């Protein structure tokens, strides 16, 4: 399902439609020779439409399941991970007042509504800390990125942490080289290594393979203009989003912003490949499972690897999407756009529903129960 078009004839029909309804002009006068061609074109087009009507429907289904609110403490939330049945990890924001910005990591028990906050230890060299992406790790622990804002200088210091609920202990797994703005990450099943995205603000995102005690190794450096949103599948294959090339615009003081806009709007592809192809840089077009996605974010897979989910815009439709790996069926689950995660059982999603009129993203948790038709 690499091309979002349904039929290969679509592009031909579009070109013909332009020819039929935009006859050749000399000044404001229509050439007489155009009319016979228009008649033949209309006849051919009617035959083509008659034989392709069935395959010209939209290539997706809009389910738009209403999220059901999850009772939560006062305040707002900026990120979420579903750690185990009935247990969420959330980045909690007491107030959206940017002058008093303060977020904490929270563990919430859905059924009892009880919660606790993780210790917020500020390393000695840091003025304050902030939190980045979070995820349920393959070992069952809570993984999250912690950013140190230094007391001196402007270099941003990112660290990978894991929280063990059973022992209530926090462990720093890795400290990234400076500067390195770590965003999306995904560990392999054995927790020996992980794929790490370095932010490029949607224009030049980069992907690295990381191991404990080693410097990050960049992958796909020469074959992609931007690459990110990695996800390690249960069977060892790897999902990621990428764009081989972005149209270049001649830049100057006045044309720079249009060039940036073009780059941000350029569609992404979603790839499903092997680690060896990723490391060797041999990812091919045949490994694209979906193309034409704009503003992509949070590419993930169900615990059994049979359904892929992502945030993005498909043919002008924004939302949270699900793609079945076996048959390529594409479904919009929700028309909202916010952080989400799979339940460990694989039959629900937790989403953060944006607060109305919020100047930046913050919201409240809610759950989406997935239909059997998507899971079977």
CB atoms within 10 A of CB 153: 10
Domain boundary, last residue among 55, 71, 87? 55
Give me the pLDDT at residue 58, please. Answer: 63
**41 and 99 housed in the same domain:** no
Considering the domain boundaries, does residue 363 fall inside one? yes
Interaxial angle between packed helices 9-21 and 34-52, expressed in degrees from 0 to 180 and rounded to the nearest 10 = 150
Give me the pLDDT at residue 63, please. Answer: 95
Considering the domain boundaries, does residue 71 fall inside one? yes
**182 and 45 housed in the same domain:** no
Q: Which of 169, 162, 200 is nearest to 184 (CA)?
A: 200
Phi (first) and psi of residue 215, to 5 degrees = -70, 150
**38 and 143 housed in the same domain:** no
Considering the domain boundaries, does residue 182 fall inside one? yes
Considering the domain boundaries, does residue 243 fall inside one? yes
Cα 180 to Cα 147, 158, 159, 223: the distances in Å are: 10, 7, 10, 21
**51 and 65 housed in the same domain:** no
Q: The domain that contains 158 carries what CATH number?
A: 2.120.10.30
Q: What tokens appear for 281 in the block?
A: 């840089």
Considering the domain boundaries, does residue 206 fall inside one? yes
Considering the domain boundaries, does residue 4 fall inside one? no
363/357 Cα distance (integer angstroms): 11
Pairing of strands 142-150, 126-136: antiparallel
**90 and 213 housed in the same domain:** yes
Burial state string for 207-243 with b = 16 or more CB within 10 A and e = fewer than 16: bbbbeeeeebeebbeeebbbbbbbbbbeeebbbbbbb
Give me the pLDDT at residue 214, please. Answer: 95
**46 and 189 housed in the same domain:** no
- Are 306 and 333 in contact, with CB atoms under 8 Å apart? no
**87 and 150 housed in the same domain:** yes
**50 and 69 housed in the same domain:** no
Cα 186 to Cα 183, 193, 238, 300: the distances in Å are: 10, 9, 9, 9
Question: Domain residues for 186?
Answer: 61-375
Considering the domain boundaries, does residue 24 fall inside one? yes
Q: What is the pTM of this model?
A: 0.81
38/31 Cα distance (integer angstroms): 11
Phi (first) and psi of residue 104, to 5 degrees = -130, 155
Q: For the CA atoms of 191, 195, 196, 197, what is the dihedral angle to 10 degrees?
A: -150
**267 and 121 housed in the same domain:** yes
**193 and 94 housed in the same domain:** yes
- Per-residue HEC secondary structure of the chain comes to CCCCCCCCHHHHHHHHHHHHHCCCEECCEECCCHHHHHHHHHHHHHHHHHHHHHHCCCCCEECCCCCEECCCCCCEEEEEEEEECCEEEEEEECCCCHHHCCEEEEEEECCCCCEEECCCCCCCCEEEEEEEEEEECCCCCEEEEEEEEECCCCCCEEEEEEEECCCCEEEEEEECCCCCCEEEEEECCCCCEEEEEECCCCCCCEEEEEECCCCCEEECCCCCCEEEEEEECCCCCEEEEEECCCCCCCCCCCCHHHHHHHHHHCCEEEEEECHHHHHHCCCCHHHEEEEEEEEEEEEEECCCCCEEEEEEEECCEEEEEEEECCCCCEEEEECCCCCEEECCCCCEEEEEEECCCCCCCCEEEEEEECCHHHHC
**158 and 286 housed in the same domain:** yes
Give me the pLDDT at residue 184, please. Answer: 97
Per-residue pLDDT of the chain (376 residues; tens, 9 = 90+): 544 433 333 333 333 333 333 333 333 333 334 434 344 444 444 444 444 333 335 689 999 999 999 999 999 999 999 999 999 999 999 887 766 678 899 999 999 999 999 998 887 778 888 999 999 999 999 999 999 887 776 677 899 999 999 999 999 999 999 889 999 999 999 999 999 999 887 778 999 999 999 999 999 999 899 999 999 999 999 999 999 976 554 454 444 555 555 567 789 999 999 999 999 999 999 999 999 999 999 999 999 999 999 999 999 999 999 999 999 999 999 999 999 999 999 999 999 999 888 777 889 999 999 999 999 8
Considering the domain boundaries, does residue 3 fall inside one? no
How many structural domains compose the chain? 2
**93 and 24 housed in the same domain:** no
């Amino acid at each position: 399902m690499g091309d979002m078009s349904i039929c290969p004839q679509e592009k031909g029909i579009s070109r013909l439609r332009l020819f039929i309804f935009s006859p050749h002009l000399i000044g404001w006068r229509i050439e007489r020779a155009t009319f016979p061609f228009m008649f033949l074109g209309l006849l051919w087009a009617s035959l083509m439409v008659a034989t392709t009507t069935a395959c010209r429907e939209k290539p997706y289904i809009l389910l738009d399941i209403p999220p059901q609110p999850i009772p939560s403490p006062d305040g707002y939330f900026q990120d979420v991970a579903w750690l185990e049945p009935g247990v969420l990890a959330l980045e909690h924001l007491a107030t959206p007042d940017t002058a008093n910005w303060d977020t904490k990591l929270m563990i919430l028990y859905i059924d009892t509504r009880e919660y606790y906050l993780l210790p917020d230890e500020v390393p000695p060299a840091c003025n304050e800390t902030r939190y980045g992406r979070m995820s349920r790790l393959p070992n069952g622990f809570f993984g999250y990125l912690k950013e140190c804002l230094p007391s001196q200088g402007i270099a941003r210091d990112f660290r990978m942490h894991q929280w063990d609920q059973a022992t209530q202990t926090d462990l720093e797994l890795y400290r990234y080289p400076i500067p390195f703005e770590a965003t999306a990450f995904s560990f392999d099943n054995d927790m020996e290594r992980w794929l790490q995205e370095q932010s490029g603000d949607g224009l030049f995102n980069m992907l690295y393979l990381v191991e404990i005690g080693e410097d990050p190794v960049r992958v796909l450096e020469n074959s992609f203009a931007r690459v990110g949103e990695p996800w390690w599948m249960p069977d060892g294959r790897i999902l990621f989003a990428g764009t081989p090339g972005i149209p270049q615009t001649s830049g100057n003081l006045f044309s720079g912003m249009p060039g940036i806009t073009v780059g941000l709007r350029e569609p992404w592809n979603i790839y499903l490949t092997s680690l060896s192809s990723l490391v060797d840089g041999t990812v091919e077009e045949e490994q694209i499972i979906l193309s034409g996605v704009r503003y992509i974010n949070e590419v993930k897979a169900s615990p059994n690897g049979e359904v892929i989910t992502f945030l993005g815009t498909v043919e002008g439709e924004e939302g949270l999407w699900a793609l079945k790996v076996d048959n390529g069926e594409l479904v919009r689950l929700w028309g909202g756009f916010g952080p989400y995660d799979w339940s460990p059982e694989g039959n629900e999603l937790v989403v953060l529903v944006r607060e109305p009129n919020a100047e930046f993203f913050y919201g409240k948790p809610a759950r989406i129960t997935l239909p059997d038709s998507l899971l079977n």
